[in-house]
Amino acid sequence: MIPFYIGATLVKVLVVFSATLLMIMAMTLAERRVSAFMQYRLGPNRVGWGGILQPVADGLKFILKEDIIPDKADRPIYLMAPVITMVPALMTMAVIPFGAPLQVGEYMVPLQIADLNIGLLYILALTSVGVYGIVLAGWGSGSKYPLLGGLRSSAQLISYELAMGLSLIGVIMITGGLTFGEIVAYQQETGWNIWKQPLAALIFLIAIFAETNRLPFDMTEAEQELVGGYHTEYSSFKFAMFFMSEYANMITASAFMVSLFFGGWDVPFVDEAALGNLGVGLSVLAFLAKVGFFLFLYIWVRWTFPRFRYDQLMRLGWKVLLPLALANVFLTGLYLVWKA
């Protein structure tokens, strides 16, 4: 039992890790093709079939570029920052359940690397550590614009973390559990949380756009004002690491959103357990489709909305989203008391 358990976990780690990296590659291509489609262009379509090998070409190009370390940079901090950004971004996928339990011989293997009893907090903690990468990159570059980008980002991420955390409380209150396993199981029985916590879902959606530094909240790298923000001075593979962790964060945020509000791997109107391992396959596909939708939403929003001004961003975070999230907690509490 024990060796089987360890083996299964290792296989799951490998699968989740490589799936995340593959999705990052697919996202870089999708971003360019979808934006091209929206702007009535073609986008990269020459490498491979219909441009499908473009991410590989991009990756090779990143590796072969000259690796520059600016004279004014603070070397240890400058070198550490991309790693600090990348590692938490890849670690968060560990607690997301991506399918119904799989039957292997006589064992049931849950399709989730670890169901921690502090599941949601684990993701919040890791995203809050990811802030350091951006802030330190901004400071360590020893240059004006990265520093401004880093400062903006730390203020932005801390502000929106509050609204994000508070919007989760409503979900935790109605579910009565803090692990992803419990939250998804609850939605299996009583329907998706989006119908019960629509306000929380909306606040959460806005907050994850801010947390992943995507338009309309990409203050940290606002090209017109800050050249490239915190990664202006980075080149070659270190830049690629920032780039990849941005996409990794988007994938985690989408998976988080799906697990909390859209039933996780739940296939609507289908009893996965009755179908055996076919149901497991279906549930994994459903999970991927839902995550894919939110990833598409990211791209869609990016090429549709203009950027917020910095004071507007702060006002939205502190004066709109935070009170709304508090009101949501209060209303959920009232509902629970009324029901009991």
Q: Which residues bind other proteins (CB under 8 A)?
A: 74, 76-77, 80, 116-118, 121-122, 124-125, 128-129, 131-132, 135-136, 138-139, 147, 150-151, 154-155, 158, 161, 178
Q: What number of CA atoms fall less than 13 Å from residue 259's CA on the CB side? A: 27
Least Cα distance to 29 among 12, 49, 10 occurs for: 49
Q: Which is nearer to other proteins, 147 or 322 (CB)?
A: 147
Of how many residues is the chain composed? Answer: 340
Nearest approach, Cβ of residue 329 and other proteins (Å): 15
Residue 238 CB, nearest approach to other proteins (Å) = 18
Q: Which of 23/84 has CB closer to other proteins?
A: 84
Residue whose CB is less far from other proteins, 118 or 327: 118
Distance CA(143)–CA(157), nearest Å, equals 21
- For other proteins, give the closer residue by CB, 18 or 117: 117
Residue 125: CB minimum distance to other proteins, A: 4
Q: Among all chains, which residue has been given the structure tokens 């949380």?
A: 193
> Strand runs (DSSP E) across the chain, as ranges?
99-104, 107-111
| Least Cβ distance, residue 284 to other proteins (angstroms) | 28
For other proteins, the closer CB: 35 or 128: 128
Residue 116: name the closest of 135, 132, 92, 152 by CA.
92
Q: Kindly tell me which of 139 and 242 has the beta carbon lying closer to other proteins.
A: 139
Under DSSP, is residue 109 helix (H, G, I), strand (E, B) or coil?
A: strand
Q: Cβ 114 to other proteins, closest distance in Å?
A: 12
Choose between 53 and 116: whose C-beta lies nearer to other proteins.
Answer: 116
| Residue environment code for 65-93, b if the CB has 16+ CB neighbours within 10 A, otherwise e | eeeeebeebeeebbebbbebbbebbbbbb
Min separation Cβ 257 and other proteins, Å: 20
How many Å apart are CA 222 and CA 233, to the nearest integer? 15
**Least distance to other proteins from the beta carbon of 138, Å?**
8
Nearest approach, Cβ of 58 to other proteins (angstroms)?
31
Residue 235 burial (CB count, 10 A): 16
What is the gyration radius of the CA atoms in the chain, in angstroms? Answer: 21
Task: Evaluate whether 90 touches 81 at the Cβ level (below 8 Å).
Answer: no
Pairwise CA distance, residues 120 & 165, whole Å: 9
Report CA-CA distances (Å) from 107 to 5, 104, 110, 282.
9, 5, 10, 20
Residue (74 or 225) nearer to other proteins, CB:
74
